[in-house]
Structure 1
Amino acid sequence: MPIRLAGAASLSALLLLAVGCAGAPADGKASPGASDAVTPAKPLPMKPTPRQATWTGSDHTAHPLRITPTRLARGSDSDLKHIRLDDDLKGMVPYYLTFSYTNTGKKTVKMASPERNFSVNGVDGLAAQPVSLFRTNPLATDSGLPPECREGGATELAAGATAALCQIFMLPKSQRPATVSYKDDGGDTLIWPVGNAGGSAKGVLAPDVPADGITEDSRRRPVSLRITPKGVRTGSLADLSRFDLDADQKKMVPYYVTMQYRNSGKYDLLPSMSEGVSLRTAGGQSVQRMTFIDIGGPGVAKCPEAVPDKMVKPNGVVTECSVHLLPKGDPPAAVLFTGDGEGSTPIVWRASVDQQ
């Protein structure tokens, strides 16, 4: 997970996840109480269901943990006004994820950092940006940081011990969280829905709404398209039995994305628009289509590459299907089409999955 640094301080003052912000009394614990400059965060509806998970440390040893996201709260864009943020984070809204983790194994876990496996994800399937903050003045009585993220988690856990931690995530104002996810080092992605996860968001189209896009022909001339999603289906690994999948791919779930393209431009097109199709998952991952080496073969019968399989002339229509392998437990949240050429911008649809 990328670490985004904000603020100015010496490296010795760098604390992951905004640890220990207020003045410290003799026992070394941070003083409670919020800054007058901080707007109270608004908790969002999320069921704090404990889940069994795995975290793997730098020693490549897998440790069993029980993890529970206990609270997700929406902050204000003014919460971090005294922090120097990267330009691409300015104007975003902070969300504060608090979670607990318990060592369910028999050995002490050292240097535990399960926060790196967590993600807060928007309705459009895009993962929020995690933020790490510098402590600008360790002796200050008030740092201006939100109270949710003033305590640090334990990096060493004895068997049966529990710790809690808070992490800051940034989302654009136009988006809202749909899920909290944890990428299990030893298995499936774990998902916790937030509020009405099936709702809409700015810039995200309904699953079957046509949209206009742009691509290029073989001579790199711009060609406009009218694109209509025709469905996302859950597939089966048996459908891909003709192809050589590796061990990790055999643990995943195939999804078939069908799109219809009308050539609304002036030049012929090779039916290859599905190269610009990708899926965003509920866990915030972006998954490109699979490329199969199958010269002259039948391909994937339940997901034909192009119908009809010939050049698409102006005003012609072609239907294409692409295969995407997703981790178990991490279903599609959105379908994206990214075209080619100047003026092309990604188009996002909310994914609606049909079972085969």
Structure 2
Amino acid sequence: MAGAAGASLLMLLAVGCAGASGGAPKPGASETVRPAEPLPMESAARAATWTGTDHKTHPLRLKPTRLALGHPSDLAHIRLDDDLKGMVPYYLTVSYTNTGKETADNLYPERNFTVSGTDGQAGEQVSLFRSNPLATGSGLPPECQEAGKAKLAPGETTAVCQIFMLPKGQKPSIVSYKDDGGDTLLWQIAGTQTGAAGVLPAHKPADAVTTDSDRRTATVLATPKSVRTGSLADLSRFDLSAEQKKLVPYYVTVEYRNTGTYDLLPSLNDNLVLTSASGQQVRKMLLLDIGGPGVPQCPDAVPDKMVKPGASVTECTIHMLPKGDPPASLTFQGDGDGARPVTWRATADPGA
């Protein structure tokens, strides 16, 4: 279903475990400390769950207490992976309380948090690991020292700080939490709902590059028409899995005009990715319906025939997102020579 939010592991006087390769200590780094800049955000405490590797679900109360903008120099003593160089650190501090009746062990709720930018893309979550037993400091940035506790008695509270990296110039928009035992929880960051770099308004036509059935480069003018909230009842003809039945269908409709010189198949929406507020990315849902009526609320293609040069087609695809995690952006990935992603802001209409 949804793509996982960004995650990256670094090494700080350490060796990380599974995940992206990390960095190593950078000798001679400056110890200059620059105060982090707190950002205004929602901080309501909310009921949640944490499901560990033992598949036990523990009830928690989560409360983000601080999101602060750091400075790249905070990580000067880390040799960053190439894909993280030039990005900016944000420090998210969260308190969590064991609201169950039993002691909860192996708690790491920070792993389920995401900080997403105004473009809908999830920031890269960074974990730092210390391997030198003789080191006297944690090596963590001064503004992100809370380590949290993995074991909590009933009613006990602790706090943890998690580092997220976002591209320079990209502001954070949403803090989210997702666990298999419950719906997605969102906390809004104030003053960051507009002005996303590289993101077009919802219905603005844009040129895009694709390929025809012979893999020749072609061009289209793509215009998102709507993103509608669907219903699982619309999909009752299909054999959905238990996990799919927990999700919400969204119907994405886009009109394409063939501005090239080759005939195109009416399947251009195959290039679409819908991104949720928490950064979850999903392509269209595949439904086996040979010769069937499809989903009337979301017709595949109108007209359902080859798209001649100068002609247009309107396509609809179904994308499944977790409950409580609405769409934030829509991206046409593109294909062929000169292709580049085209991204629009996406806000779901209330119903189909």
**Which residue, out of 1, 7, 13, partners 1:9?**
13
Matched residue, 1:27: none
Matched residue, 1:147: 142
- State the 1:84 CA deviation: 0.7
Q: Where does the alignment leave 5 or more consecutive residues of structure 1 unmatched?
A: 13-34
**Which residue, out of 158, 182, 186, partners 1:163?**
158
Matched residue, 1:337: 332
Matched residue, 2:24: none
Matched residue, 1:348: 343
Task: Specify the code of the residue in structure 2 equivalent to 1:282.
Answer: A
Q: Quick check: 2:275–2:329 contact (8 Å CA) kept in 1?
A: yes
Task: Give a deviation string over 1:281-301, Cα, whole Å, max 9, x none.
Answer: 011100111111111222111
- State the 1:312 CA deviation: 0.5
- State the 1:149 CA deviation: 1.6
Change (3 A) 1:131 1:242: same
Normalising by structure 2, we get a TM-score of 0.90
Report runs of 4+ in structure 1 exceeding 4 Å deviation.
136-145
Change (3 A) 1:11 1:215: closer
Matched residue, 1:250: 245
- Structure 1 residues 1-356: aligned runs within 5 Å: 4-7=8-11, 9-11=13-15, 37-135=32-130, 145-356=140-351
Q: Quick check: 1:122–1:175 contact (8 Å CA) kept in 2?
A: yes
- State the 1:5 CA deviation: 3.2
Task: Give a deviation string over 1:207-237, Cα, whole Å, max 9, x none.
Answer: 0111111111111101011111111111111
Change (3 A) 1:8 1:41: closer
Helix, strand or coil at the partner of 2:143 = helix
Change (3 A) 1:63 1:8: closer
Matched residue, 1:17: none
CA distance in 1, matches of 2:139, 2:102: 38
- State the 1:6 CA deviation: 2.8
CA distance in 1, matches of 2:52, 2:345: 35
Normalising by structure 1, we get a TM-score of 0.89
Change (3 A) 1:2 1:212: closer
CA distance in 1, matches of 2:128, 2:273: 32
Change (3 A) 1:113 1:217: same
Instruction: Judge which range, 242-251 or 199-208, deviates more.
Output: 242-251
Q: Quick check: 1:98–1:148 contact (8 Å CA) kept in 2?
A: no
Once superposed, what is the RMSD of the aligned Cα atoms?
2.0
Helix, strand or coil at the partner of 2:234 = helix
Aligned residues: 335
